[in-house]
Structure 1
Amino acid sequence: MNRNIIAIAIASLGFIIGLALLGNAIKNRNKSENTISVTGLGSNKFTSDLIAWSGNFSRNSFELKSAYDELANDKKVIENYLISKGIAKNQMVFSAVDIQKQINYGTDANGRSTQTFGGYQLSQKVSIDSKDVAKVENLSRNITEIINLGIEFTSSPPSYFYTKLADVKHQMIADATKDAKQRAEKIAENSGAKLGNLKKATMGITQITAPNSTEEYSYGGTFNTSSKDKEASITIKLEYEVN
């Protein structure tokens, strides 16, 4: 009989503990559900203050030395031209000379494949990074002046950058956080509740596009370099407790 009483007592105690644990679980579950998650947006428009531009020039000859001498003369002409346009010599970076053997492929009278030496092609690249955006931009648009000097020159589209992007990001983060908090406060107010402590904050990826463009945002972040004027944006997701 004593054994039955002890068994009943143990079962009753287990039942009471189970109820306590269940009540605590329900309480914690309800507490975790009393939250608000909101996303805020911060954006900023700015104009690039750094431009990067490059161009390639080349010479072809059956004599390697002849091609090299012609290319060296082209380099000197290009350098003098850029200096005349107000580009400092220390802003110009000339790459090493690239040498390629040209092979002409064909067939002979019997239909067999043939290969003949077509000479050497030597090419070189000149690059300019400058904070004088307007000057280099104008230079890139009037590159036919170099071609008119008798040089086979190919210009690449300029790329635009902003050296104070870190400051822009800091301001956008502050604006996005403020925007998200205001949204959370409005939701809580409309629900008759009060905003509690911040539980979690998650920052999105910075997206930089041309203003009023149709560029799509990417998962890893978009960074437009083709437009001088840019628009950056970032999102902040905040999760608050609600009392």
Structure 2
Amino acid sequence: MKSWKIEASILALGFLLLGVFINCGLNNFSEKDRSVNVKGLAEMEVPADKVTWPLVYKSLGNDLNALYTDIKRSNQTILEFLKEKGIDENEISVNAPDIIDQKAERYSNNDSPFRYNVTSVITVTSNKVELVRKLISEQGELLKRGIAITGGDYRYNVSYEYTSLNKIKPGMIEEATKNAREAAEKFAKDSESKLGKIRHANQGQFSINDRDANTPYIKKVRVVTTVEYSLKD
């Protein structure tokens, strides 16, 4: 009768190896699914490096020709004031005047004795933020020259920008990623695991906002990165 001992031994060894391989595969599969998803924050306060300052004044009258002459003279006075204070000509733009004919306004209940209401705007756009801020506080000097700068119109607010994001972006991403890793390491330690490699990372969007309502010339730059790390025993 033929002996099956050798075949049985080989078969048993095969089943044993198969079990080992399956177990290793399951362990590897389990390790692959173990991960932690964390966020890292980086914030920085920076001074604005660009300012847009609209100087607005009103003119009233009944004679367009006289108004034109008056506006031309007023514009020249403002330009002289700005240049005297250190603003370059290429940083100044003179807008076309906005003329409202009170009598042409069909539904107007305005009882003003003046037919024409003209809004003139001269805009300063400059990187000399501190200088412009100083001039804004000194614009009352124009009263001595016969010009009253008006405010309160939401269309003509002073605005500040930060345009040098690319200079600080690499450092902020590095800081945010570092903060994310610290959070992931804490999680791994608490779960009695070890932190593995990065599986996926999302830089996130940068946001630039005023630090607060009182200091719009100071900007807060913010970025949140999302990083997924693998975990292992």
Q: Could you say if the C-alpha distance between residues 91 and 187 of structure 1 is closer, same or farther in structure 2, counting changes exceeding 3 Å?
A: same
Pairs within 5 Å for 1:153-172? 153-155=149-151, 157-172=157-172
4+ long deviations beyond 6 Å? 26-29, 113-117
Where does residue 54 of structure 2 map in the other structure? 54
CA–CA distance in 1 between the matches of 2:110 and 2:102? Answer: 14
CA–CA distance in 2 between the matches of 1:190 and 1:129? Answer: 54
Identity %: 26
Deviations, residues 8-34 of structure 1 (Å, cap 9, x unaligned): xxxxxxxxxxxxxxx9xx889855641
Q: Larger % of strand: which?
A: 1
Where does residue 227 of structure 1 map in the other structure? 216
Where does residue 142 of structure 1 map in the other structure? 138
Amino acid in structure 2 at the alignment position of 1:149:
R
> Residues 39 and 238 of structure 1 are in contact (CA less than 8 Å); yes or no, is this contact kept in structure 2?
yes
CA–CA distance in 2 between the matches of 1:114 and 1:45? Answer: 47
The alignment covers a number of residue pairs equal to: 203
Is it true that 1:238 corresponds to 2:194 in the alignment? no
Residue ranges of structure 2 left out of the alignment (5+ in a row): 1-22
Deviations, residues 181-231 of structure 1 (Å, cap 9, x unaligned): 2221232133222222322222333233444x4x8xxxxxxxxx9522222
> What is the root-mean-square deviation of aligned Cα atoms in Å?
3.2
Q: Kindly state the Cα deviation for residue 159 of structure 1 after the two structures are TM-superposed.
A: 2.2
DSSP-derived class of the 2:52 partner: strand
Amino acid in structure 1 at the alignment position of 2:163:
T
Query: Equivalent of 2:122, from 113, 126, 138?
Result: 126
CA–CA distance in 1 between the matches of 2:39 and 2:132? Answer: 40
CA–CA distance in 1 between the matches of 2:110 and 2:176? Answer: 66
Where does residue 13 of structure 2 map in the other structure? none
Q: Kindly state the Cα deviation for residue 175 of structure 1 after the two structures are TM-superposed.
A: 0.9
Amino acid in structure 2 at the alignment position of 1:131:
N
> Residues 93 and 127 of structure 1 are in contact (CA less than 8 Å); yes or no, is this contact kept in structure 2?
yes
Residue ranges of structure 1 left out of the alignment (5+ in a row): 1-22, 107-112, 216-224
CA–CA distance in 2 between the matches of 1:124 and 1:228? Answer: 25
Amino acid in structure 2 at the alignment position of 1:202:
N
Calculate the TM-score normalised by the size of structure 1. 0.71
Amino acid in structure 2 at the alignment position of 1:130:
S
Amino acid in structure 2 at the alignment position of 1:132:
K
Q: Larger % of helix: which?
A: 2
CA–CA distance in 2 between the matches of 1:169 and 1:178? Answer: 14
Deviations, residues 87-109 of structure 1 (Å, cap 9, x unaligned): 22221111112221013889xxx
DSSP-derived class of the 1:154 partner: coil
Calculate the TM-score normalised by the size of structure 2. 0.74
